[in-house]
Structure formats: C-alpha cells, structure tokens
Structure 1
C-alpha cells in the first residue's frame, strides 16, 4: 500500500501514441490505462492509494534524493536516485506503436547503477477495471502473468543469460509481485510490462532492451527534428510539442485533453473531471499551432479527424457536432463516479466519463472552421464531400447561433448568452466565406455574410459593456471572461482598437502576478461548489493578447514568470493554485498549445520591434 500521493507536478509523462503513463519522482507509476487513453486504469494510485494499484521502483534504502529528466529531445524519462552507496537510474519508456489500434503495449522499466552499488526494490500491484476486477497471478522463470477476466498483463524480466533467475522474485498474498535487483556500477537490468496477448513471459536480453531504447531515441529525435521553429524559448516549445505528440491517439489523429481523470481544480473540491477524450476545441487549436512549428503531418492528421466529425453528424439535439468524442471518434460518452475511491488528496467525487459531452457549446463551430481554414492554407485541402458537410454545418449554425448555451468553460449552471460563443460563430461564417471565395466553392454566400454581420452587430451592441468599458462574458452582465482574450487573435477587432485596449486593461482584474483566472465564479455562478485556481491556458492567451497590442515588455515578463510555474520537466497541468502548486488534470494539451502560440507570437513581435529599432538607427 502506498503511504502518500505525490504532488501532481511531481510526475513525468511517457507513452507510445495510443496510451500513456505518469511516473512520479519517487519512481512510482501511479497512472496507466490500457489499451487506450480512455480505457480503465491498471495503475491508479494517484487517485486512490489502496484501490488504484501501482508499479514502484526505488532504492531499498529509504534515504535517497531523486532527480528527474527527459533524455534530450525524447519522451524517455530518467529518474535518478542518489544514495549513500551509489547512484542509480530508472529509465522509463514505451516504444512507439503503429497507426493501427492495438491491444499490445510495452512499458520498459530499465534500472541501472551508474556509480557505486545500489539495490532496487520493484513492486507490481495492478488493479484492473478501476480496481473493480480481481486478478490471478502466475509466475515462471522469466516473469509473471496477471489475468483479470479477458485482460492479460505480462511481466518479463530484463536480464543476461547467466543471471540468477528467481532468487528475489516474490509473489504476495494480494496477488502482487516484488522483485529486488542488486546492481554494481555499469550493470543494467529491469522489467517489461506488456498488455494484451496470451503468450507466456519471455526474458528479454539486456542487449534487446538497449536496442529498443536506441530505437525510441531515434524515433523521437527524428520527429523533433521536423520542427522549423528557431526562435526564443526553443527548448520549452519542443517539450510542449513532444507532450502534444504523446497525447495524440495515432490511429485516429485525435488529441486527448489530458491523459488523466479526476484530478481536482480545487483540493478537496468537486471539480474533478475526466479529460481522456478529444475535444473539438482542443483538436482545432492544435492544427494552427502545429503548423506554426512545422509539424505538418500531425496538423493534417488532426484536420482529418476533425473533418471526419464534421462529415458524420451526431444527430444530437445540440447540433451536428459533439463538443467531445472518444479517441476513435465515438460520440457516445457517459459519466459515472468511482464511489469507493478516495480521490487525489481527498478530492471527491472521482468521475470517469464526462457528462458535459451532451452540452450545447456554440464556439466549437468557429474553432472547427478556423482549423479547417488553417489546414487548407497549409496544403490540406477540403474535398467535395467535406465541403458539402461544411455547408450542412453552416446551414445548421445559421438557424441556431442566436440562442443560450453552456459555453467554453462547460458550466453546469444553465444556458446563457455567452459572448465568446457568439464570437466563434462569427469566426465560423467568416472562415467559411473566405474558404469558399479562395477555392471557388459553391456556397450561399449572401446568407453567410448576412449571418456573420448580424453576429458582429449583436456582439458590439450586447457584448460590450459601457459600464465596464470592456467586452463581457455574457449579455447583460458585467462579468469579465478570459476567453475573450482571443478577440484580437481571431481578427474580430484590431489589437489597437480603443474598445479592445480598454478590454485588455479591464482584464487585469483577472490577473494575479501574471496568472490569469478564467472568470470570477462568485460573480457568475457556474452551478458548482467551491472555487478554482488560475487557468494556465488563459495566462498564455493574455501573453498573446499583450504581444499583439505591442505591450511587449509586459508580455515578456508575464511569459517568463509563467514558465517558472512549470514542473521540473517543463510540463503544465490545467491550473495553478493560490499556493503556486499545479492542480487539475496533467499535463493539459490546451495549456501546451497556448504556450506554443504565445511564444511564437511574442517572438515574432519582439523580432519586429528589434528590426524597427535597427532601421531607426
């Protein structure tokens, strides 16, 4: 049984492009779902220390220090242990899978002594189906097999032929397994965990583990090498790009919002959602972001995923698009609570599935069209069937944009007339008009132009508050909302328009030492108890908005401050608490997308300002 839960930020992420695992700084894998991101957990002690299951690897001596790093330009995680007897490492990685959905996934934990001597204690304690399904353990000379219903988990040892086989392999009464490995300087051993299949364990030679390590290094470094970005903060952007790649389900091109479920937006609170799905919004933003970095294949894959959703309407009464889908594009999601799970640091309920899937969120249509427009400009053109689907989508939006909705933040306090939703409906018509004009596609342009202009007039009349001197969250209310920081980015207003500069000044009300809140829940009830931290996405949106308004010094300081809230590996969760700790699901794709966008915008504006100064000289 685990004694404590590590901080959310005390984790690194590994994965194989179909699923992933979190590895804590103490060497424990405390979150792993297989065969997909949205499958039931096998290790989940991050959310329940007793029922969740874990896979730990650490020195036998409890007095040690740890350091964690990624092997350069890869998703291979190295956890280093510093003890009085020597220095050891646990090297965690998952060889990348193909683009075909698979039940078979390999997770390698290679342990190595780099100085002196060290004994590693390894414990494998899986808990299947969120701990709801019992398992049976059988051992062989080469490892062990865990069986739970139709699910099989195989553990194989990494060793040399002359190694002592079972001297320190110990099954427990609970059906778990313990293994001790005493190593001297230069020795490398470990274990391989494989999901799926019915083959018995087979020892892996150390040389084979080294070959898989080398192949994984080559895969990631070749991928990172495609980046065309050469500006400031290059290392931070590359780490964010690798994180986004890790959150991609390769068979469909879908991007999960985060690999975790149930991590709280407030410690002890009820805002504990499951983010292991693909949001239209996140996938849409990713297209433009990855194009800006030169990752055209991934942008094209996300674009194809999105176009498939547009071409396959859900038939829902909330419109032709769901706000989120399972990673394979399945629109059917439901939400349930793991009643017996304690939650991260007592944050209950622990939810799996997501009940917001059936909400009406009008902004997704603008984000989808923005992505399709950007993908088209990058060379991923829309074919005739796709264009007909877009026309059907715009026909629906023309009839339905002027109604209350749940909004971008998925509030559960009822539908309202959110300004951001209207803004993105304007984007939907604007991008469709541009696409039809540039490509010469048949379209009811007169109607689209009329709807676009009607939305513009409505936002100017009802979304602007003369009292606040700012665009506001919803019609008739003076509440500010950080989502509106995108108004200049999408071209609705000029970044130097007085109405926009006044709005940007008013937004300072949501800023706390560079960190930005989404909105004030006390001023705009959202149907949930408690509060939340600052929203990391919004901080990077603020940086982008400041940069576009040529407030470059403020933008740069805000950006640099925000980078100090990253964890030791450069990863961000969804939110930052008042204490400065990371909270919410981790790592969050939306945050890393916004980081890349803000950095590129700021870098370009700084370069332009430097060029102007040189010309003046």
Structure 2
C-alpha cells in the first residue's frame, strides 16, 4: 500500500505523457507514450508497482521548485557532507515557432545530478513494472546502461553508474563539488530504435527542454493582474496536461487517487471532458495563449461531431485524447491503491452516462471562440445547431449532471441551466451558424427552461437555488447561475445563493463542498472541492464582494503543494490533498477566479 502524501509529488510532462516525482527523488508514476498508456512505474498506487529513485544515502533535507517558467523540476538534497541538485524533465521541444510545445525527443525522461557543495554519496534504484505493475521484466545489461524488454516495447536506461539486479537494479555513486552526471530513460515501442544516450545527449535534451518551456512562456504568458505567478504556473500546468498531437486536455494525468482515503470514489481522469470545455477556454485565453485555446476547441468540435452511436444523443460526456469514444472501465485487482483505496480503475464508465449540461458547455465554448465558428464547414455548423436542438428537445429529462452521480437520474438545476446556456449561445451565434430559421424555436425553449429554473429551482426553505427542481438541497454548481449570465450578479436571488453556499457548503477549513451530503449512489465521504472554492471566489467578485472574494481565493490558493500544484479535493479536517493530481479544473478555477477578481477591482 502506498501512503506517501499526494502533495509530495511534482508533475513532469512532454505534452503527450506524464511522470510524477516524489520529494525524495523517486519517480513513482510514468505513463508513456500517452497520458492514458499503461504505466511503467505505478508505485503511486502500490509499493510493488515500480519506481526509479536517485537520492542521497542517509539523512537529507529537501527543497525543490520548477526551474523558472518551465515544467522542469529541480530538487536540492542537503546532507551533512554536501549538497546535490537533481534536475528532472520529460524531454520536449518547440513546435510551430515555439507557440506549441511538443515532443521532439521521443519518450525520454532525463535526470541530471550535480554536486554543488562538499561530497555526497547517492543511491540509485531502478524497478520498472510495466502494465500497471502486472509485469516484472528481467533487466539485461547493455553497454552504458540497462535494457528492459516487455510485451509492448522496451525501456532503455542510460546510466553513468553500473547497476546490478535482475528485476530491480541498484547501484551507488559519489559526487564531489562541481561534478555532474546524467541519466536517461527511453520508452521504445516494438520496432522502434533504441540506443544508449551519451552525457552530451542527455545534457542537450535537458537544454532544449528548458529553452522550449522558457520560449513558450515568453511568447504566450501575458497575464498581468492579481496572483500573476500562480496564474502563469496554472497556465503551464494546463499546457503540460495538453496532448499535443490533438490539442485535447486531460482532466488529470493519474487514475484512482481517492476522494476519501480507503473509499471507493476512485476514478481514471486521463481523458478529456466536454464538461470542461468552456471553463478551459476561458482559462487558456487568460493564462496561456490563443494557440492552445484554438487547438482544444478544434479538437473538441471535431471529435464530438464525428458520427457516434445511433442513440439520438449527438454528444458524449468524455473522450480519449486521440478522440476515442469507448472508454470501458476495468478494475485492477492486483493493486492495493493509494492509502488502501480500492478499487483501482482504468477507463471511465461516465462515457456511457447522459449529461444534459454538456450541450451548454460546448456551445458556450463555441461562443467564446466565435471567430472560429464562422470558419467551420457545414458539417461542423450543423453539429453545433444539433446541440441546441438537443437541448430544446431533452431539457425536461433527468440526467446525472456535472458531478456524474452514480445514483438515480434527477432533474438537476445545473443541467437545466446549461441547456439554457446552449440555447442562449446558439441564438447569439445564429448568424455564424446560418441558423436564423431555428431562432424562434430556440427562443421559446430558452424561455421555458428559464421558467422551470425560476419557479422550481428556487427553494424558499433554503433561500437559494437548489440542487434539483423541487429540492431544498444546496449544490455549489448553483454558483454558475451568475457566472454564466443566467441571473445578473446584483439579482437578490443570486446574492442569496452565493451567501447560502458560503454559509452551508463551506467546511471547517473554509473550503467549499460540492453539495449537501445525500445518497449519490456511492459509499463513503469526499473532501472539499478546490474548484468549487474558486467558483465561490469568482461569484463573490461578480456580486461586488471583492474583499470576501480575495479571502476565499487566498484560502483555496493556500491548498497548493510546495511547487504550486492542486489536486481535485482537500480533506476538510486534516488538509491533505485528495483525488487525482494535478487536477486541471482546480487550476482552471484559480485562473478564472483571479481574472474575475482583477476585473472587479478595476471596475
């Protein structure tokens, strides 16, 4: 069982695959060549499922940070005898004039160790366990490293120190002040070219990666406003979670990190959700650049508009980063899970669910990117019109909504709201869509949705908009009513809803929970949601409560780990990070809330 805190990890990315590195120098998660590929190291989920560490022998202290405006990690280990720095990166390089990062060196994790003071003895341990730890391959010596063949490919480790062992290889080296050595681990698919890397190769790949990230940041990160450093870092995290070949953005690079320790709320987030589309485009326009926003919108529109199952539903909840539709969920019974949290899942059966909110989220994204809509072909424009038609036809039906509850479908207010958004944005886009003839029907449907929300989504008992029509339960997604423009920020009901969420859904650490606890089809509890806390800050800013918005923002921002990364949730009592990590929506929430507070302060 793995019990290392989630906050101990830092992300590496080459904008196709990802790694997580712990504070003690252990790479405990590595998925190549794609975010959703079977892991090569999975100690994150089970102590026996593979790792690669480089760290001092004996007692040491740790300090670490990303190197400037990059996703290259530098960890400083201090011992009584000396200090070493380990610099870790998944090799990447510039594409398209530096505006988009991509992989120019295939599937390589580089680790460069430099002694900056005294003398330090280091231990190296290499334990690859492909296919989520199910494979225990034999290591073969190679000139200058080790070869690790397995079913779908091989790993080539280039090492300046001799490592010995059949399934787990170990070795030691000593470095004195001024000495520097590099390691490289390359994933090679079947039939691919493998070779041992020289020290010059390793240093060159690290240099190109640093330059690529710095150039990307200099060209693209122009935000100036409150919490500028955090916004820029969140923009780089979103870039790191982007699958460069398509433009898809994964919700997180991990699977099955639990929402509650020992619980069953453990999901695979290595896919791209339509739900995130409009949130993501807003954040990318602030914290990254138009290139990423355009790539994401183009991919989402192209993937979603491809002909799918003949079930009358034009849109799926989530897709694979390559546009895959079938993402059937499986459990990995041989893994104990982080903190003993089972089951460990790969795939996500939410792709089968009906979520009516996604019509509005994609059409809102299209509205945000309306200059691109006019350039869509007739098929693409027809697809967007079909989303508005679907919202008009199906808004009265129950669904599983934004939180993907696994209980019975309900008439969630958020789903009705986003159907209203779908119709509202389609009406605004009618000229670009050449849809003038449909506007009257859309206008009637939009009015009907508004009436249903205002008459049945408002709870007099709760003094707030509620979770579902006719319900008195609160849900943080009601904060989206003013954020989407359904109600004006100074509307009394909007203010009352924001106040109710702050009073009744805020936990002991000042962080916001998704909804009041009811039977949602799953056992166990969950933590406070980082994104919902940033939603509250955003809504407070819109309603003119700027000082309160800043207070809520600061509490949420303080949940980041030492390198500025957020998970999905935070334990409301102990404060530890929970859920998949790092979580795109948490970083998106930070960016959008900071932007909203900045605008409110300037007004």
Q: Taking structure 1 as the reference length, what is the TM-score of the superposition?
A: 0.92
Q: Give the alignment of 1:555-594 within 5 angstroms.
A: 555-577=549-571, 578-594=573-589
> Equivalent residue for 2:443?
449
> Equivalent residue for 2:86?
90
> Equivalent residue for 2:144?
142
In structure 2, distance between residues paired with 1:316 and 1:276: 26
How far has the Cα of 1:214 moved from its partner? Answer: 2.2
Note closer, same or farther for the CA distance 1:606–1:46 as it changes in structure 2 (3 Å cut).
Answer: same
> Equivalent residue for 1:406?
400
Q: Which of residues 185, 200, 211 in structure 1 aligns to 2:204?
A: 211
Deviation digits for residues 92-136 of structure 1 (CA, Å, limit 9, x no counterpart)? 001226688999301001111111111221111111111223423
Q: Give the alignment of 1:218-297 within 5 angstroms.
A: 218-225=211-218, 226-293=220-287, 295-297=289-291
Please state whether the residue corresponding to 1:170 is helix, strand or coil: coil
The question of whether the paired residues in 2 share the 8 Å contact of 1:547 and 1:602 is answered with yes
Instruction: Determine if the alignment matches structure 1 residue 179 to structure 2 residue 179.
Output: no
Instruction: Determine if the alignment matches structure 1 residue 516 to structure 2 residue 518.
Output: no
* Unaligned residue ranges in structure 2 (runs of 5+): 96-100
The count of corresponding residues between Structure 1 and Structure 2 is 591
Please state whether the residue corresponding to 2:54 is helix, strand or coil: strand
Q: Which of residues 170, 180, 188 in structure 1 aligns to 2:180?
A: 188
Note closer, same or farther for the CA distance 1:392–1:498 as it changes in structure 2 (3 Å cut).
Answer: same
In structure 2, distance between residues paired with 1:4 and 1:112: 29
How far has the Cα of 1:443 moved from its partner? Answer: 4.3
How far has the Cα of 1:601 moved from its partner? Answer: 0.5
The question of whether the paired residues in 2 share the 8 Å contact of 1:140 and 1:201 is answered with no
The question of whether the paired residues in 2 share the 8 Å contact of 1:135 and 1:149 is answered with no
How far has the Cα of 1:348 moved from its partner? Answer: 1.1
Q: Which of residues 385, 391, 408 in structure 2 aligns to 1:391?
A: 385
In structure 2, distance between residues paired with 1:25 and 1:430: 48
> Equivalent residue for 1:40?
38
In structure 1, distance between residues paired with 2:239 and 2:221: 13
In structure 1, distance between residues paired with 2:320 and 2:157: 29
Deviation digits for residues 446-498 of structure 1 (CA, Å, limit 9, x no counterpart)? 11111111111111111111221210001121110001111111110001101
In structure 1, distance between residues paired with 2:194 and 2:546: 60
Q: Which of residues 108, 111, 120 in structure 2 aligns to 1:109?
A: 111
Deviation digits for residues 340-364 of structure 1 (CA, Å, limit 9, x no counterpart)? 2111111111111111111111111
The question of whether the paired residues in 2 share the 8 Å contact of 1:258 and 1:586 is answered with yes
How far has the Cα of 1:209 moved from its partner? Answer: 2.6
Q: Which of residues 416, 422, 434 in structure 1 aligns to 2:416?
A: 422
Tell me how large the CA RMSD over aligned residues is: 1.9
The question of whether the paired residues in 2 share the 8 Å contact of 1:155 and 1:201 is answered with no
> Equivalent residue for 1:333?
327
How far has the Cα of 1:385 moved from its partner? Answer: 2.6
In structure 2, distance between residues paired with 1:536 and 1:307: 28
Q: Which of residues 424, 432, 438 in structure 1 aligns to 2:426?
A: 432
The question of whether the paired residues in 2 share the 8 Å contact of 1:103 and 1:196 is answered with no
> Equivalent residue for 1:6?
4
Q: Taking structure 2 as the reference length, what is the TM-score of the superposition?
A: 0.95
Deviation digits for residues 135-157 of structure 1 (CA, Å, limit 9, x no counterpart)? 23211221111011131111113
In structure 1, distance between residues paired with 2:325 and 2:286: 29
Please state whether the residue corresponding to 2:175 is helix, strand or coil: strand
Note closer, same or farther for the CA distance 1:84–1:498 as it changes in structure 2 (3 Å cut).
Answer: same
- Between stretches 96-105 and 400-409, larger displacement belongs to 96-105
Note closer, same or farther for the CA distance 1:316–1:404 as it changes in structure 2 (3 Å cut).
Answer: farther
In structure 2, distance between residues paired with 1:58 and 1:101: 28
How far has the Cα of 1:311 moved from its partner? Answer: 1.9
- Between stretches 41-50 and 499-508, larger displacement belongs to 499-508
In structure 1, distance between residues paired with 2:66 and 2:574: 26
> Equivalent residue for 1:163?
none
> Equivalent residue for 1:614?
none
How far has the Cα of 1:35 moved from its partner? Answer: 1.2
Please state whether the residue corresponding to 2:339 is helix, strand or coil: helix
Please state whether the residue corresponding to 1:171 is helix, strand or coil: coil
Deviation digits for residues 182-208 of structure 1 (CA, Å, limit 9, x no counterpart)? 111111112100011544542412x43
The question of whether the paired residues in 2 share the 8 Å contact of 1:169 and 1:177 is answered with no
Note closer, same or farther for the CA distance 1:187–1:144 as it changes in structure 2 (3 Å cut).
Answer: same
In structure 2, distance between residues paired with 1:291 and 1:44: 34
> Equivalent residue for 1:612?
none
In structure 1, distance between residues paired with 2:374 and 2:168: 50
The question of whether the paired residues in 2 share the 8 Å contact of 1:310 and 1:393 is answered with no
Instruction: Determine if the alignment matches structure 1 residue 597 to structure 2 residue 599.
Output: no
Deviation digits for residues 389-412 of structure 1 (CA, Å, limit 9, x no counterpart)? 112232233222210001110111
> Equivalent residue for 2:98?
none
- Between stretches 561-570 and 16-25, larger displacement belongs to 561-570
In structure 2, distance between residues paired with 1:187 and 1:479: 62
The question of whether the paired residues in 2 share the 8 Å contact of 1:145 and 1:200 is answered with no
- Between stretches 499-508 and 454-463, larger displacement belongs to 499-508
Please state whether the residue corresponding to 1:344 is helix, strand or coil: coil
In structure 2, distance between residues paired with 1:4 and 1:526: 28
- Between stretches 488-497 and 382-391, larger displacement belongs to 382-391
Please state whether the residue corresponding to 1:500 is helix, strand or coil: helix
Q: Give the alignment of 1:342-491 within 5 angstroms.
A: 342-377=336-371, 381-437=375-431, 441-491=435-485
